[in-house]
Structure 1
Amino acid sequence: MSAARDAEQHRRTVAALLRTHGRTYAEEAGIRLRDTPQPLYQLLVLSHLLSARIRASVAVAAARCLFAAGMKDARKMAAADWQQRVDALGEGGYRRYDERTATQLGDGAELLLDRYGGDVRRMRERAEGDAGRLSALLRELPGIGPAGADIFLREVQGVWPEVFPRIDGKALQGAERLGLPGDPAALAKLVKREQAAAFAAALVRAALDKEVAEEVGV
């Protein structure tokens, strides 16, 4: 296949992928992501939940239950007692890791309050535009490992320009399954900048579910 035909096939694949699965995980969890403390904290919680070995739909449901129970920012998460966090996680079906995660969420909220006044933007300021440094700071929070940091950075790239393009790990596995380029920069060129976070999330879905490739005609 010629380079021109390859490029055309890539465009068609990406268009179909965005049409069928082009939604961020933050959107699924009801988070209206913008550069303000509350939605950024909610994304941090969601990233924590998604990083466990559990279905993404369960993690999203558990995040929604935590927020519905009032735990929408670091202060309210820290103020909730352990059982309230366990109950909200359980309501969302997040039962395998609920007790440990409830503890980590409480400890993480306390740490975020102590170091950053509960504002994730201050973590960004400390990183001084260095995405690697930001990832390291995120991983200092209980329960946020490399996977959790990657999820947060993939989702936040739409509002924090210095993170763009963030297509790595699971997203690259999805690109391979779909026959798309394996280079993050090349992948980023296939979408508009404002679509990057949704595109990365869709690629992750392709990595996690082989039926996604069938749905987009690959």
Structure 2
Amino acid sequence: MSAALSAAARRTADALLKECGRTYAAEAGIRLRDTPQPLYQVLVLSQLLSARIRASVAVAAARALFGHGMRTPRRMADATWQQRVDALGEGGYRRHDERTSTQLGEGAELVLDVWKGDLRRLRAEADGDGDTVRAGLQRVTGIGPAGADIFVREVQGVWPETGFHVGAKGLQGAERLGLPTSTARLAEVARGRDPAVFAAALVRAALDRETAEKVREAARSRP
């Protein structure tokens, strides 16, 4: 990366984080630590975000589920199908609510059966390999490649061995902002910054053209 490009890229990164530097987990009220409950909550959020529905609705639905006590796989599995549907509806997640309720129940049972309710067991099985983590996550009902990517992107701050990860949507955001579009070069731009926050901010730029333009204007005005 040339010195000029590096300086411009870092100005853009600074403007990006100032405009929308927050993970989706934080927006959903998840205090992320490497402990079972918040990791499971990120899994639920990742499933909701991976559907074809607005990210704001997915976040609101996750908050509603957690607000009704479904913060652990045991509590999710013990909730009735209707209780899950009602919580999803409360968050505005109505288009896919019935199918998603079923998937959440089945997924919670699998997390309990395979990893005893603790996704750190998956982390240990993967032994630092991000691809293995993503493959393991896709065993969970309702989690496909997109959901697995979101999970790894959001938890990379507490599971750093999986490597810097922005996913396809993050790369789209980088392109929209004029940032490098390879993960390796983006990692250089992100150096010294929270990788999960930076990756989520790139996704926000990809999803909202107006946000991306604000970031570009702010970067241009920086000395």
In the alignment, the residues of structure 2 paired with residue 164 and residue 23 of structure 1 have an alpha-carbon distance, to the nearest angstrom, of 19
In the alignment, the residues of structure 2 paired with residue 132 and residue 193 of structure 1 have an alpha-carbon distance, to the nearest angstrom, of 24
In the alignment, the residues of structure 1 paired with residue 48 and residue 168 of structure 2 have an alpha-carbon distance, to the nearest angstrom, of 17
In the alignment, the residues of structure 1 paired with residue 42 and residue 88 of structure 2 have an alpha-carbon distance, to the nearest angstrom, of 16
The answer to whether the aligner puts 1:88 opposite 2:99 as a matched pair is no
* Aligned residue number for residue 116 of structure 1: 115
Q: How far is 1:116 from its partner?
A: 0.8
* Aligned residue number for residue 53 of structure 1: 52
Deviations 1:28-80 (A, max 9, x none): 00000000000000000000000000000000000000000000000000000
> Secondary structure, in 3 states, of the residue corresponding to 2:216?
coil
* TM-score calculated relative to the size of structure 2: 0.94
- Does structure 1 conserve the Cα–Cα contact (< 8 Å) formed by 2:150 and 2:167? no
- Does structure 2 conserve the Cα–Cα contact (< 8 Å) formed by 1:129 and 1:162? yes
Gaps in structure 1 of 5+ consecutive residues: none
- Does structure 2 conserve the Cα–Cα contact (< 8 Å) formed by 1:82 and 1:103? yes
Q: How far is 1:168 from its partner?
A: 2.3
In the alignment, the residues of structure 1 paired with residue 213 and residue 197 of structure 2 have an alpha-carbon distance, to the nearest angstrom, of 19
Report sequence identity in percent: 66
* TM-score calculated relative to the size of structure 1: 0.97
* Aligned residue number for residue 3 of structure 2: 4
* Aligned residue number for residue 67 of structure 1: 66
Q: CA RMSD in A?
A: 1.2
> Secondary structure, in 3 states, of the residue corresponding to 1:190?
helix
Runs of 4+, deviation exceeding 6 Å: none
- Does structure 2 conserve the Cα–Cα contact (< 8 Å) formed by 1:158 and 1:194? no
Deviations 1:126-158 (A, max 9, x none): 112111111001011111000000000000000
Change (3 A) 1:56 1:158: same
